[in-house]
Amino acid sequence: MAKRINFFDTTLRDGEQSPGCSMNIKEKILLAKQLEKLGVDVIEAGFAASSEGDFESVQMIANEVKNSTVAVLARAVKGDIDKAWEAVKGATKPRIHTFIATSDIHMKYKLKMEPEDVIKKAEEMVRYASSLCPEVEFSAEDATRSNPDFLAKIFDKVIEAGAKIINIPDTVGYTTPDEYYNFIMDIRKKSKHLDSVQISVHCHNDLGLAVANTLAAIKAGATQCECTINGIGERAGNAALEELVMIMNVRGDIYGVETGINTKEIMKTSHLLTSITGVSVQPNKAIVGANAFAHEAGIHQHGVLSNRETYEIMTPESVGLTMNKMVLGKHSGRHAFKDKLQSMGYDLAPEELDKAFEEFKKLADVKKQVFDGDIEAILTDREVKAEDKYKLVRFVINSGNTITTTASVVLNKEGQDIEGIAVAGGPVDAAIRAIDKCLDIEVELADYSIQSVTEGTDALGYSIIKIRYKDHNYIGKGMSINIVEASIKAYLNAVNSIYA
């Protein structure tokens, strides 16, 4: 029987710590539900003691998720553990994930503790967490720069205190595959109890080795890999879930393991995360990049047309990628729309279907062809929108290469119409300046991008805007065939996120 590898997804915790990847509670719950659909074994929902917002999101996710374990991070501190348990106790399968630093440099300069005191603290806090929660995971922060003898000792103590999962993380992305393999094997030999519990690994990508190191750890006996969607995370990020899963699937002859991941949900999960954070993956990113299944070289194209296996080691369908082809138009009815959604893997409640169909009909009225990508974008955009304090009523842009661009934008703020007029060098700039005149707060535009969702000159424009307000970043998304309208919607969505 093949060894089962558990996937511990930390997109909502470590991934969110990536610059520009913060999420609000509604977005976190939406992503958690998709991670559950993807089939991850454990969802690390957040660090409950870090803020009231994180506490609330962990608590809500714990109450929503039924099939995956919901984990919450906590320092080896009683107050953190109390907060963690309060947040996660409503979960069907709760887990407290507690940690303490174990490397000499961390113990000396960060903790300012002696090694024996660190062991005593870890043992005490794991025992306390185990008295509250049926499943406790212990992590040795900066493990790969720690002494293996010391790790074996602290692991034995926390296992005796009740830890059921031991995480040996490469916190700073320092190790290499061969070194990591030997390191874990060495600790296993020196520890009395490590082989009686689940060994987990959490690899960072500072040297671009996170996936390779995780695979080496699995060879060394690890049965849980901690990773994120699209590999997001602090600094250079974490091991990418989609890469690990597909490596194990495609190279079953090498690894001989099984997972509970539904690979056909990979693309949808990746796209949802991108829509929420506004951070796109690079085109040549493995598995989920735009070019992952694209062939431009003539020799490659000829080979693929003859037999896809000449240049494709996995099928696009295996990760949930479908061809963008016209399936619906303005004459399509609600039943056809519902059937199409179900074929794409979406199962909406009647009221959600009504709203999505209304948006689809609006788009179909102005587009000759409606693609799968258009429909997916409609659904994702609708799901992650913030509550609207400011609503767009209308806008008019006068622009040309021989005149100064002028924008008039009318917004509705809580029932009252407000007009802003501005001039600028281009239509988007003028529109945003006009919006600024309607706001009762001052915000700073930090980043702006726009791209097409599908092909054609009538493609949906998808705009992502990041604004800064009181030292916090807020991301807004907007879609329209009119790229100025898409930009206005994205800017207002970001502004409304401040109030949401």
The three-point CA angle 404-407-413 to 5° equals 160
Q: Which two tokens stand for residue 48?
A: 């409950």
- Residue 405 sits in a domain of what CATH number? 3.30.160.270
Q: Is 353 exposed, middle or buried (0-12, 13-18, 19+ CB in 10 A)?
A: middle
Give the end of a domain, one of 350, 384, 418.
Answer: 384
Per-residue confidence (pLDDT) for residue 161, from 0 to 100: 98
Q: Is 82 exposed, middle or buried (0-12, 13-18, 19+ CB in 10 A)?
A: middle
Per-residue confidence (pLDDT) for residue 210, from 0 to 100: 98
Residue 285 lies in a domain: no
Based on the fold, state whether residues 90 and 204 are members of the same structural domain.
yes
Based on the fold, state whether residues 156 and 210 are members of the same structural domain.
yes
Residue 287 lies in a domain: no
How many other C-beta atoms lie within 10 A of the C-beta of residue 397?
19
Based on the fold, state whether residues 231 and 90 are members of the same structural domain.
yes
Residue 307 lies in a domain: yes
Per-residue confidence (pLDDT) for residue 310, from 0 to 100: 58
Based on the fold, state whether residues 256 and 304 are members of the same structural domain.
no
Q: Is 386 exposed, middle or buried (0-12, 13-18, 19+ CB in 10 A)?
A: buried
Residue 165 lies in a domain: yes
Based on the fold, state whether residues 73 and 102 are members of the same structural domain.
yes
Per-residue confidence (pLDDT) for residue 456, from 0 to 100: 76
Closest to 427 measured CA to CA, from 443, 446, 450, 411: 450
Per-residue confidence (pLDDT) for residue 304, from 0 to 100: 43
Based on the fold, state whether residues 165 and 273 are members of the same structural domain.
yes
Based on the fold, state whether residues 403 and 379 are members of the same structural domain.
no
What's the structural domain count of the chain? 4
Residue 286 lies in a domain: no
Based on the fold, state whether residues 256 and 402 are members of the same structural domain.
no
Residue 482 lies in a domain: yes
**Binned average pLDDT, 10 residues per bin, the chain of 500 residues:** 94 84 86 97 97 94 97 98 98 98 97 97 98 98 98 98 98 97 98 98 98 98 98 96 97 95 95 85 90 58 53 79 60 80 77 86 79 76 69 96 95 94 95 96 92 80 91 87 94 90
Q: Is 467 exposed, middle or buried (0-12, 13-18, 19+ CB in 10 A)?
A: buried
Q: Which two tokens stand for residue 183?
A: 């390191």
Residue 283 lies in a domain: no
Based on the fold, state whether residues 125 and 58 are members of the same structural domain.
yes
Q: Which residues of 15-47 are buried (b: 16+ CB within 10 A; e: fewer)?
A: bbbbeebbbbbbbbbbbbbbbbbbbbbbbbbbb
Per-residue confidence (pLDDT) for residue 453, from 0 to 100: 79
Query: Under a CB-based contact definition with an 8 Å cutoff, are residues 249 and 220 in contact?
Result: no
Based on the fold, state whether residues 138 and 94 are members of the same structural domain.
yes
Domain of residue 143 covers 3-277
Q: Is 223 left (phi over 0), alpha (psi -120 to 50) or beta?
A: alpha
**Sheet containing 461-469: order of strands:** 444-452, 461-469, 472-480
Give the end of a domain, one of 384, 414, 432.
Answer: 384
Residue 117 lies in a domain: yes
Based on the fold, state whether residues 449 and 350 are members of the same structural domain.
no
Q: Which residues of 53-72 are buried (b: 16+ CB within 10 A; e: fewer)?
A: ebbebbbbbbebbeebbbbb
Based on the fold, state whether residues 16 and 160 are members of the same structural domain.
yes
In angstroms, rounded to a whole number, what is the distance separating the alpha carbons of residues 496 and 500?
6
Query: Under a CB-based contact definition with an 8 Å cutoff, are residues 183 and 155 in contact?
Result: no
Per-residue confidence (pLDDT) for residue 364, from 0 to 100: 81
Per-residue confidence (pLDDT) for residue 24, from 0 to 100: 84
- Residue 123 sits in a domain of what CATH number? 3.20.20.70
